[in-house]
Amino acid sequence: MMGEGLTILGIESSCDDTAAAVVRADPHQGAVILSSEVQGQTDLHADFGGVVPEIAARAHVERLDLCVERALAKAGVGLGDLDAIAVTAGPGLIGGVLSGVMLAKGICAATGLPLIGVNHLAGHALTPRLTDGVEFPYLILLVSGGHCQFLIVSGPNTFERLGGTIDDAPGEAFDKVAKLLGLPQPGGPAVEQAARLGDPARFRFPRPLLDRPGCDLSFSGLKTAVLRARDDLVARQGGITQQDRNDLCAGFQAAVAAVLAEKSRRALFICLDRSYHPKAFAVAGGVAANATLKAALETVSAATGTPFTAPPLRLCTDNAAMIAWAGLERFRTEGPDAMTLVARPRWPLDPRAAPMIGSGKKGAKA
């Protein structure tokens, strides 16, 4: 099922990570990540409470060619060993996407290599095939600081969106809750750590949208509920104790996990109602690092007899190996793109699904 001995360079610059990677797929050995370079920009945006598009784009321009050089050197290949170049062509912050697309076009023009424009979300969604060789069709939940959606993946370019957040992404909610409780950023790991020492039953936070059918999600009300609970404590006690903070984190995390688990159960049942069994239920994105969430999703998956998989974290968060792999899959089935390839700020994976609302702190989601 893997590629026919293809070596692809992947380039990613759609948000705040500058990344390049070389992936080789061989019919006998499967897929091998020869190198994967990721240079984050967290430090550059730290003072601004979110990613500043102009700063991100400038940093990508300054760092991309060195990043590509490093990826090639670590993989031990030259441009002459490549079969094609895959680049994120959207969705994302347009200045960053443009930086990557222009670099890829430049290399392709100079070398004659084929160019493949990759949808960043397709990169995330196809990762379980790179890491675990999962076969189509499968269900994936993308949960990160910028993404939150359920997708049925039935081909390299065939995605059906079953639902997603109507406001914040879960990672954003973790980050905002951390901020309002005085915990460090990124908030996810800090909230998870505090929650370990907390009582999830002390504060009963809402389970948003559970009363509505379908797989859509909402997280902004949950964040507001944590804010109110904090303000109540401050009004009554004049401040919050460490135990209050731990209990608030535990209650919030329990609500996020419960909502995502229930919506995952519904997404799995949508597949089963159509009389097919997904080959796997995969979760990807930074929030998938959360142990409580992962355990809840695994339980739901097991209840329907569906194998559960979570790619390693370095391949869940933004990286270029997933772009190289998604490019490789597209290249094999559809061939390259023309040099007229355009960078797109919005690019939904499923063109039939209704447009998503909200754009989050990391820019447009789809």
Q: Which residues are at the interface with Zn ion (CB under 5 A)?
A: 318
- Pick between residue 32 and residue 227 the one whose CB is nearest to ligand KG4: 227
Nearest distance from C-beta of residue 118 to ligand KG4, angstroms: 16
Binding mask 153-172 for ligand KG4 (x = CB under 6 A): ------------------x-
Touching ligand KG4, residues 315-344 (CB under 6 A) = 317-318
Q: Which stretch binds ligand KG4 (CB under 6 A): 29-37, 82-90, 104-112, 281-289?
A: 281-289
What tokens does 137 get?
A: 């069709």
> Does the bond joining 213 to the residue before it have cis omega, within 30 degrees of 0?
no
Q: Minimum CB separation from ligand KG4 for residue 206, in Å?
A: 19
CB nearer Zn ion, residue 177 or residue 287: 287
Site for ligand KG4 in 126-145 (CB under 6 A): 144-145
Cβ(88)–Cβ(13) below 8 Å: yes
Q: Among the candidate windows 2-10, 92-100, 180-188, 199-207, which touches ligand KG4 by CB under 6 A?
A: 180-188
Residue given tokens 């990826």 in the structure block: 71
Among 57, 222, 287, 326, binds ligand KG4 (CB under 6 A): 287
Q: Which is nearest to 13 in space by CA: 79, 57, 70, 72?
A: 57
Positive/negative CA dihedral, 232, 233, 237, 240: negative
**Shortest gap between Cβ of 143 and ligand KG4 (angstroms)?**
8
The secondary element (H helix, E strand) that includes residue 53 is: helix 53-75
The yes or no reply on residue 50 touching ligand KG4 (CB under 6 A) is: no
Q: For residue 248, give the 3-state DSSP assignment.
A: helix
Minimum CB distance to Zn ion, residue 146 (Å): 6
Strand ranges, E, within the chain: 6-12, 17-26, 30-40, 84-90, 115-119, 138-143, 148-155, 158-164, 281-284, 308-309
Among 138, 150, 159, 174, binds ligand KG4 (CB under 6 A): 174
Between CA 84 and CA 157 the distance in angstroms is 18
- Out of ligand KG4, Zn ion, none, which partner does residue 186 contact, by CB within 5 to 8 A per kind? ligand KG4
Q: Of 175 and 318, which has the nearer Cβ to Zn ion?
A: 318
> 318 or 329, CB closer to Zn ion?
318
Q: Strands 148-155 and 308-309: what pairing?
A: unpaired
Q: How far is the CB of 17 from Zn ion (least distance, A)?
A: 8
Q: Does 18 bind ligand KG4 (CB under 6 A)?
A: no
- Number of alpha carbons in the 13 Å side-chain half-sphere of residue 263: 31
Site size with ligand KG4, rule: CB under 6 A: 20
Residue 148 binds: one of Zn ion, ligand KG4, none (C-beta under 5 to 8 A by kind): none
Minimum distance, C-beta of residue 307 to ligand KG4, in the bound complex (Å): 23
DSSP structural state of residue 165:
B
CB closer to ligand KG4, 115 vs 178: 178
Tokens matching residue 279: 């080959």
Residues shown for the chain: 366
Report the partner that residue 330 touches, choosing among ligand KG4, Zn ion, none (CB closer than 5 to 8 A by kind).
none
Q: Is-contact 270 215, C-beta < 8 A?
A: yes
CA torsion, points 311, 315, 318, 323, in degrees to nearest 10?
A: -110
Which residues contact ligand KG4 (rule: CB under 6 A)? Answer: 15, 144-146, 171, 174-175, 186-189, 192, 285-287, 289-290, 317-318, 362
